[in-house]
Amino acid sequence: MEIREAVQGDVEDLKTFILNAWGEAGHGAFGWTGASDDTISQIATHDFLSKVIGRDGVRVFLALDGDEAVGFATNSRIDDGRVELSGIVVLESRTSRGVGSRLLELAVSTARRDGYSSMVVKTEGFNDRAIGFYLNKGFERGEIVEEEVEGTTVRLVTLSLSL
């Protein structure tokens, strides 16, 4: 298993991964609240993903098993001291194998190296699996916020980690 920062040459692998992950997870799955086939089709384009990988203040991390992308994570700058872990997504068929943990380790170590003092992540308030994962990795539970995601109001738990 290779875990590394994504580069422009990984765009097609990321595109395939997103479509596969959405296909495995399906509508209403944890972590996909508010997503639709249309949303995923827009995200899983070469143009969109190229811009994400090249965006200032954003780092994309990729988990590869041979030639297959099996997970990814993204850090996005909030301000000089804080970075948001915008999410970790692992193929449902590859969960519970340490892929998410290894992606998180790289995201955290990169954020530290980039000089951030804290990392935040938000997940659905009902996503006990994700909340437990982050708490077990040293994150602390914070406030509950409501945000609109693709026209759906979602209750999110904010978790933070001191770096």
Segments of the chain scoring below 70 in pLDDT: 26-35, 150
Look-up of token digits 């003092």: 117
Evaluate whether 76 touches 54 at the Cβ level (below 8 Å). Answer: no
- The pLDDT value recorded for residue 22 is 79
The domains located in the chain, with CATH, are 2-162 (3.40.630.30)
d(CA 162, CA 157): 17
155 Cβ partners below 8 Å, 6+ apart? 124, 125, 126, 144, 145, 146
d(CA 87, CA 69): 16
Angle at CA of residue 103, ends 139 and 18, nearest 5°: 115
Terminal C-alpha separation, the chain: 26
66: left (phi over 0), alpha (psi -120 to 50) or beta: left
- The pLDDT value recorded for residue 102 is 96
